[in-house]
Structure 1
């Protein structure tokens, strides 16, 4: 049995226009004029479907993060910034970031259309089904499994559309070959219900389909399945994990279905007991993988935020203290020039005064130091470690490492179960799940960091030896286990246990899955992210959703008329509980919560008259 390239597929099937027409945008005239009638197509048996499947798995934004998306989100206005995973050093020039459209201006332009039109990435699915119908015998047996697997991948990508927009088409998408070019809009809850049912069917079906395949068919499948390399059990685990995610997510809207689905998931025994990882190849050929290059080009917005620092450096002394601080502190953050973990202020007035003083007295960057970003690919690591006063994300963990993609982390499974047990959706030990989730998350990020073989980690100036070594902290399993147990203890005694669960969940997702993080922050209102300030004005736009793509009103006006009332940033998605809709997911951190430099306290609301303001300068530059 032979493999087939995507280029060969396109030569053998003249369905080019179908590729543009199977999403929600209609183009019926072109389709009727140009597409080849599949009823008269004679395929070369059992070579097209595997190749078409592998082609779909390589589409951007499904199992692959892409350059443009992270270039946009890595900007000062984007999901990564809004989630407070990263920040640009606040100055008065950024005081305009007060409204929803300000914050997500660039990111929305790229992402709202691509996720709403998720069917575009799976436009070959109906053609695959037509081809399958013309196969017989072993050729058909060896091809059948690819259809439900492609459907699982479609749901994996498509559910993000619901989480961003709420009401979207689902059951009538990918129906252009049946003459449906204008799929109906369905409620977000109904779409979730349908996806939960579909995933159950696929998880129950694919093991028998795989078992029936010939040895040659399984061999081809192992080659063409670039997601799990022919491991059908992992596909079942992925479908089951998604059902758990969906069931927990809909609890406020359909508690009955939530409980019954969780019961089925737990009784199935098909939840994973490790991270479900997808190999970096073929979409990352070197340490400039697409999304990392996009992110790295926005290095000026890559400083770690005060809120993240607060969760990591628990005693606030800017150093890692075993038994107190989160072991991920050094894995996540670069040290500054003093070997300390420092973050910029979220107060524009304070940030501006520091900027002005440093640049005025020291002649500007890099001598000024405080606002020097580090270009992850073209910059000099020694220069950053020598000059910079603030901590960026650790490049050995985030960028300069060829890491696999997490289709679903074991830590997320544990945190989902913790919430299910806490809220009475099932019976179990929530504290134990929190501990297992934290333990798994720390080990996950250490493993990525340890996999970095970046040459600059071995070639450094003597003055930076200690700081360079800090980029790959030595794992201590005892400290990691003790910290996970510590968080479980904090959970057990916490008055607000959901905050503990979702703060840890937020810390786990990070750059590998920012959309899931944003969904959970909006759904639960946790964690309580920090608030930025411009003078006396708080900068805390409260986004609930993406607006619909601008093309929807003209391409499918009937559908748009049903959702026009939700075409905004502020209407909550269906999974937000009624009791939470009036709550915000930002906190007023008035107390002294971090210091820019040892001994110099600062509050988020401290303004230009703050007595500590005058002393808020970095330590002297090294000789």
Structure 2
């Protein structure tokens, strides 16, 4: 069954807009009828749209940490933003918005079960697992078993991060089982509701959902690659993945949402509307604030990488000159002397909001194949990952072949003696602006590439943080549970999988 695509304007009826939203699972003033008046198939596009906005805009500060962007010299920036000495008020929306989005998926999950809609229920379980995973990767222990229960458990306890991770695999598998149940029911002549175009990510294509689920699981396993005590768990989960026969996201298969973005107020593509241009085509302030990082420019130039002109805009419209400064420098260059965000990532107002790109999916497969975890040629996966990056930026497969055919370490496969380092370096090179969170995760796991720390003189701890601090909202509304986690440091309180 296909249902008409919702516009963003219609979505706000069923889901709170991300900007300015509060932590729903602790909000005693929330209206219990706000979402439950809608059928799950109508909540799905709103939830997916919010996921797209969340992953597109919540972690952009990591572009600074990971060597992609720097602050403009036209603006005065707070010291805590430059020396990693942030507080519990830093980027609280990462936590608060995630739980609001999770509650909507939880509604779809439960109502899907009640109404006998296994495809919707399976999609919701997979998306819940994704959001909980990112919360664990960011904060460690989190409310999980008692989360999303509203006033019945207004102060949920925190669950062990490793235990949550293990259960997320079960939840994804439960979602896949629901897809299989739907297949069996349909084969027996039953009618199964497929959300069709209301699934604004895969248009109801369950084969893609299965590949997406497997890709998420493989990425979660790679998070744990450097922990010897996780080997048995990894091997057991790999057996399930490999036996499924579903495979992973393939050529051109971006997990991305687009409910119908348009050049109207509040309807622009989230990344474009946050870091690009206004409806009148004038630069948004965030575009002027965020400029190119010299570390990124140096890498692309040193490897003859044509993606340079897609990740960064030329200085003064010159077409050939690119310039940036290192993160935290005491003398950041003004906008007229630095490159802005480039046209490859700021493509147009209608561009999709990416949740997991095809190039990241192939880099995940390349690393897993190189480790012997999955079948396939790691070189082929590696070169396809680079090709997908080029194509997603608007370049060609021929451009990619010219690039990776160079006899340059960390570019040419045969030239690179450390294959894992080459994979992660190229993965980092592809995630500029797209997904700095994944670059941060790989850096915490493997220390690749060797991104320079902030140059700000007040940077007393010479280390990129390994986590964020629990948000102030937790200390305000769930103080006993969050204080039970002990004294948390962004430098030493590691997520369980961090090296």
Normalization by structure 2: what TM-score?
Answer: 0.80
Cα offset, 1:256, TM superposition:
1.5
Contact kept in structure 2, 1:95 and 1:534, CA below 8 Å: no
> Structure 2 CA distance, aligned partners of 1:21 and 1:89?
32
SS at match of 2:156: coil
The farther-off stretch of 340-349 and 438-447 is 340-349
Larger Rg: 1
Contact kept in structure 2, 1:531 and 1:539, CA below 8 Å: no
The farther-off stretch of 282-291 and 145-154 is 282-291
Cα offset, 1:527, TM superposition:
1.1
Cα offset, 1:225, TM superposition:
1.8
Query: Structure 2 residue aligned with 1:406, among 354, 357, 364?
Result: 354
> Structure 2 CA distance, aligned partners of 1:84 and 1:310?
10
Q: How does 1:85-96 map to 2 (within 5 A)?
A: 85-89=68-72, 96=79
> Structure 2 CA distance, aligned partners of 1:249 and 1:260?
15
Deviations 1:200-249 (A, max 9, x none): 22123214315635999667621322221111111111111111111111
Partner residue, 2:64 = 81
Partner residue, 1:290 = 270
Contact kept in structure 1, 2:272 and 2:349, CA below 8 Å: no
Query: Structure 2 residue aligned with 1:111, among 76, 79, 93?
Result: 93
Query: Structure 1 residue aligned with 2:177, among 179, 193, 204?
Result: 204
What is the root-mean-square deviation of aligned Cα atoms in Å? 4.1
Q: Which runs of 5+ in 2 are unaligned?
A: 15-20, 277-284
Q: Note if 1:523 corresponds to 2:445.
A: yes
Normalization by structure 1: what TM-score?
Answer: 0.65
> Structure 1 CA distance, aligned partners of 2:493 and 2:240?
32
> Structure 1 CA distance, aligned partners of 2:272 and 2:290?
12
Tell me: CA distance 1:192–1:479, structure 2 relative to 1, closer, same or farther (3 Å): same
Partner residue, 2:245 = 269
Partner residue, 1:586 = none
Q: Note if 1:123 corresponds to 2:103.
A: yes
Q: Note if 1:549 corresponds to 2:465.
A: no
Partner residue, 2:426 = 504
Q: Note if 1:101 corresponds to 2:92.
A: no
Q: Note if 1:303 corresponds to 2:283.
A: no
Q: How does 1:19-98 map to 2 (within 5 A)?
A: 23=25, 25=26, 27=28, 48-58=39-49, 60=50, 62-65=51-54, 69=57, 78-89=61-72, 96=79
Q: Which runs of 5+ in 1 are unaligned?
A: 13-18, 315-323, 353-369, 374-387, 448-474, 578-623
Cα offset, 1:119, TM superposition:
3.0
SS at match of 2:146: coil
Contact kept in structure 2, 1:52 and 1:124, CA below 8 Å: yes
> Which structure is richer in relative contact order (CA contacts within 8 A, separation 6 or more)?
2
> Structure 1 CA distance, aligned partners of 2:398 and 2:46?
44
> Structure 1 CA distance, aligned partners of 2:287 and 2:460?
25
Tell me: CA distance 1:535–1:176, structure 2 relative to 1, closer, same or farther (3 Å): closer
Q: Note if 1:481 corresponds to 2:431.
A: no
> Structure 2 CA distance, aligned partners of 1:305 and 1:85?
5
> Structure 2 CA distance, aligned partners of 1:494 and 1:565?
42
Contact kept in structure 2, 1:312 and 1:325, CA below 8 Å: yes
Q: What is the number of equivalent residue pairs in this alignment? A: 471
Deviations 1:569-620 (A, max 9, x none): 542211112xxxxxxxxxxxxxxxxxxxxxxxxxxxxxxxxxxxxxxxxxxx
Q: Note if 1:344 corresponds to 2:324.
A: yes
Q: Note if 1:392 corresponds to 2:340.
A: yes
Deviations 1:468-523 (A, max 9, x none): xxxxxxx4x43421322436774444454433222211122222322222222222
> Structure 2 CA distance, aligned partners of 1:516 and 1:347?
19
